[in-house]
Amino acid sequence: MIVFERKQSNSEISKIIHDVHRTPSTPHYLENGDNYCRNLGARYSKVTMRYTVYRGGQLTPMQWTADNSSGGFTDNLTNPWLPINPEHYTTNVQNQKNRLREFGRILSFRKNTLKNYRARDERVDVLDPNIIILERTHHRHKSKRIILAANFGNVSEEKEFPEAYGNVKVVMTTAGPTRTRVRSRGFTLSPGAAFVAEVTLLYYPSPAILND
């Protein structure tokens, strides 16, 4: 079991990694209020209830709408004691159709693309240590790979692909305020961003997934 955690979590990056990494089964997702909030990762010195034992991190206020600066949690004249998640303009209860499209996109990817790659032949690399890389090999074509790259840090990261990588075809990326840029020889990921890509190797076997 591998546990991924960011100080400021992104729900979509979690869904993508969970869907790629989990073992084959019938997919089940539990949608609740936490999916619309962000874990601040604040230390006790930064919160009012310093000596309270928390079950989890301090979540941002509920994101109801995108039509005001507080996400519908309160009016624009009142400031909540915890900051509003900046993603509330795109991720909120009022905009549930976008959430359904996200799930549909991920489930379609799992059904039509991920099934072609070996779940038990997975390689995991941790870089910097903010960049997580997962790599799987195709069932029939050893020169084909599928990779997932995710940035769990708080700053943008730029990496180069190894020389063995030929064609890189992006299958899926995170949306919202995150920024993903994939080039022929490398990529740039903003905090909370991730992408999945199919790769054809120029030669076999593959060297290290990425260069430092």
Looking at the DSSP bridge assignments, the partners of residue 194 are 150
Domain 117-201: state its class.
Answer: mainly beta
Sign of torsion over alpha carbons 102, 76, 37, 178: positive
Per-residue pLDDT of the chain (212 residues; tens, 9 = 90+): 333 344 444 555 555 555 555 545 555 544 545 555 555 555 544 444 555 555 555 677 777 787 777 777 777 777 777 777 777 777 777 777 666 777 788 888 888 888 899 888 788 877 777 888 888 999 998 889 999 999 988 889 899 888 888 899 998 888 666 678 888 888 999 888 899 999 999 876 544 545 44
CB 180 within 8 A of CB 13: no
Question: What is the residue extent of each domain of the chain?
Answer: 117-201
What is the tally of helices (H) and strands (E) in the chain?
2, 8
